[in-house]
Amino acid sequence: MSTESFIEMETNRQEPVSLQEPVSLQEPVSLQEPGSLQETSSLQEKEVCTEMVSARENLTSALTTASAQWSRESTKIQQAIAECRHLRMRGWVNKVEGTIIRAQVPDVKIGELCKLISPDEKGELLAEVVGLDRDIALLSPLGSTSGISSKTEVIPTGKSHEIEVGEHLLGSVLDGLGNPIKKAPRFDSDTSPRVKVPVMADAPDSMERKLIDKPVSMGVKAIDSILTCGEGQRMGIFAAAGGGKSTLLSMIIRNADVDVVVIALIGERGREVREFIDHDLGEEGLARAVLVVSTSDRPAMERAKAALVSTAIAEYYRDKGKKVLLLMDSVTRYARSLREIGLAAGEPPTRRGYPPSVFAALPQLMERAGNSGTSSITACYTVLVEGDDMTEPVADETRSILDGHIILSRKLSSAAHYPAIDVLASASRVMNNFVSTEHKQAAMKLRNLLAKYQEVELLVRIGEYQRGHDKDTDEAVNRIAEINAFLQQGTHDPVHFDESVNKLLTQFS
């Protein structure tokens, strides 16, 4: 049948052939004149419709098969693209020089972590990019460099150092990188949200910080009455070896009126860590604390990271609206770890061997503490003083950054006067902003009496002091035992802020 005849036949039909509803072959075709031309046309029409239905079914089947195949191929392509996005340039170790690894690896940035994988693939080492020289990256390892060779592969991760924070950390002991050493009982079972935060962060904006306008109870009578600290204040505790630093820290940790305590032990002896947890902190103190530990045998980069990790944890709890106490022991060892990294990377030594990067890092770390728009981090940073030399670079720089300083005396410590605080050499820079006038005057009177006594102490000891020449000095000599008794306190005898102030007003107003 010609195409023209088929078109004419389809035009004369009352009902057009529908591809959506194919003609059923079970229904008989009405033949008006058997054997006629009409019968022949109907048979041909039937064959054409059958062929068209079959073609449609074949096309539908082919499209379905093609669609399924394309879906499978599309999934494979998307997976391949996703994998390609994670591919990074790789490099190789070029040189190991002291504590610095030089690697030829492009496309890295300062602060980025890299994986170092040895040919035997028995393990991997993390290192941080601390310097760049064209396509040579200077890496500071976060672990032992034992086993590193020229065949060690360097793979940039594209990420900086991050840690997981949350309520589950309370009661736990972490290493300098934020990994758990001793998990709290709730560490794995706690269902509260956990988030990852970078250990490096900017300090709160200076115009968004709340003013330090109310005191925080440290539970230490000499501090709360004479060297009153405010919420969000940053204090330095300066002490030589054997100056009673550990005793004062343990008193503050147990007695401070805060919600969370974050403690960083940097460069301490391994023996002292367990002693600190069991004797100074105790189970009750550990329950509300997070301890970050990096002992003296750990790599310099890990010791430096411990300060950043502890600060990041404190920031998390501050952002949750909690009052946080951050204790860091010690800033000196943090600075020494930075010195070790800087000198190994080729920085020039300046003040007593410290490179310039150390004095840039100290304010960046300490300015992160303090008040924000939500709550506060009250921070105490201990500083080791060499031979009572307060002009030592780290001590001098730290004192210029912080909001006050507490000087511990070896003389008082050796006389069993605890806490061994040299009240006259210490100061709180913001105390006068929030204490009452009566409190301020009573504290000044105690200071004045103590200063008067120290002027004539030698004469008193050798029996050459003669009374009646100065009324204030006579009062100081008469009351020195009372003053010392007021300033002393048992390590396990907490005294609340209000009680300390009331005693001060009663005795010295």
> How many degrees, rounded to 5, is the angle at CA 336 between CA 413 and CA 370?
75
Using the structure block, give the residue that is written with the tokens 């693939």. Answer: 121
Q: What is the pLDDT of residue 356?
A: 93
Domain 224-434 has CATH 3.40.50.12240: yes
The single-letter DSSP state of residue 396 is H
- Helices 497-508, 437-462: inter-axial angle, 10-degree rounding: 60
Q: What is the pLDDT of residue 27?
A: 47
Q: What is the pLDDT of residue 165?
A: 93
Q: Do the Cβ atoms of 263 and 314 come closer than 8 Å?
A: no
Which stretch of DSSP H or E encloses residue 449?
A: helix 437-462
Determine the number of helices (DSSP H) and then strands (DSSP E) in the chain. 14, 18
Structure-token pair, residue 249: 């820290």
Q: What is the pLDDT of residue 6?
A: 45
The single-letter DSSP state of residue 430 is T
Q: Is the peptide bond between 419 and the residue preceding it cis, with omega within 30 degrees of 0? A: yes
Class of domain 435-509: mainly alpha
Q: What is the pLDDT of residue 63?
A: 81
Q: What is the pLDDT of residue 206?
A: 86
Distance of CA 244 to the CA centre of its chain: 28
- Which residues lie across from 283 on neighbouring strands? none
Using the structure block, give the residue that is written with the tokens 């505790």. Answer: 237
pLDDT digits (tens, 9 = 90+) for 149-208: 888 899 999 899 999 999 999 989 999 999 999 888 888 887 888 899 999 999 988 888
Question: How do the domains of the chain map onto residue ranges?
Answer: 3-66, 91-156, 224-434, 435-509
Torsion of CA 467, 468, 471, 472, to 10 degrees: -20
Q: What is the pLDDT of residue 40?
A: 63
Task: Give the integer Cα–Cα distance in Å for 304 and 334.
Answer: 5
Q: What is the pLDDT of residue 88?
A: 57
Task: Give the integer Cα–Cα distance in Å for 406 and 420.
Answer: 10
Which stretch of DSSP H or E encloses residue 341?
A: helix 331-344
Q: Do the Cβ atoms of 371 and 209 come closer than 8 Å?
A: yes
Q: Which residues of the chain have pLDDT under 70?
A: 1-41, 82-88, 121
Q: Do the Cβ atoms of 355 and 342 come closer than 8 Å?
A: yes
Task: Give the integer Cα–Cα distance in Å for 90 and 157.
Answer: 10
Q: What is the pLDDT of residue 77?
A: 80
Q: What is the pLDDT of residue 309?
A: 96
Q: What is the pLDDT of residue 250?
A: 87
> What's the CATH number for 91-156?
2.40.10.170
> How many degrees, rounded to 5, is the angle at CA 379 between CA 375 and CA 383?
170
Q: Do the Cβ atoms of 434 and 213 come closer than 8 Å?
A: yes
> Which is it for strands 173-175 and 289-294: parallel, antiparallel or unpaired?
parallel
Nearest to 327 by CA among 214, 432, 435, 406: 406
Which stretch of DSSP H or E encloses residue 112?
A: none
